[in-house]
Structure 1
């Protein structure tokens, strides 16, 4: 079971294990989403860009972050609904980079419209092997309050 609204505190933090992004990951995501922009899939083209090599799609990184968060188990059985997500992409992720998630509680407040639930805003900070932030997001969600029985 995950954590209830009442069990999370502002500033609380969790760190996921790392995962190395591969060329296959980038190509599979490009194929799945039909986003075959050369910046993601064309090695020769990318040699002419400031990146020098294909970069992962921002939404691939956001999707991996969602998976990192899910595997932590914090919301398992206690999350009610995601309310909104925003992302900023700050540094490119290339094949061979190892990324991990630093997730923290930014804000919390009781739900005004749904008794027994509270709203948690979590920060998702995706870092690479050098400790640089690659992507940073905020995820707002409703969570169940701890049963009182």
Structure 2
């Protein structure tokens, strides 16, 4: 879906949430192949039995990329990603866990380029037990309606 949501139309505290998505063994194997990250934490079930979590964990970068994709439910024609900051993995995600994402508008500020503002979205990822497993800030470079007509 295409929308036009200008800087002035965002409100601090506004939230949106995604549906859930279950992380599978196939997700982990494909991600390992795409990234070259074959660390035993993700790929070696027997070795993992000797570690604190006792089973394989999903790559943090997998959870990040899946979570970002889950939030892309619409295309804002007057905004674009400016970057991500403060990325943290707070709990492991295991095969069979179901994640969902909550996005909250955290901050808004003018950009140095006239006609633009930066909207900071807090991205929080939760597992099926409502435990926070990942968070970061998404910076959204957004046109200002007043200055762009």
Q: Please confirm whether the aligned pair reaches a TM-score higher than 0.5, indicating the same fold.
A: yes
Partner of 1:56: 58
Offset at residue 114 of structure 1 (A): 1.6
- Where does structure 2 lack aligned partners over 5 or more consecutive residues? none
Q: What count of residue pairs does the alignment treat as equivalent?
A: 146
Q: TM-score of the superposition, structure 2-length normalised? A: 0.91
SS in 2 for 1:11: coil
Q: Distance in 1 between matches of 2:57 and 2:135?
A: 17
Whole-angstrom distance in 2 between the partners of 1:19 and 1:59:
16
Instruction: State the shift of 1:76 in Å.
Output: 2.2
Partner SS for 2:41: helix
Equivalences for residues 106-145 of structure 1 within 5 A: 106-111=106-111, 113-145=112-144
Contact 1:70/1:76 (CA < 8 Å) preserved in 2? no
Give the TM-score taking structure 1 as reference length: 0.91
CA shift for structure 1 position 116: 1.7
Per-residue deviation, 1:146: 2.4
- Alpha carbons 1:83, 1:139 under 8 Å: kept: yes
Superposed displacement of residue 109, structure 1? 1.1
Deviation of 1:68 after TM superposition, in Å, equals 1.3
Match of 2:95 in 1: 95
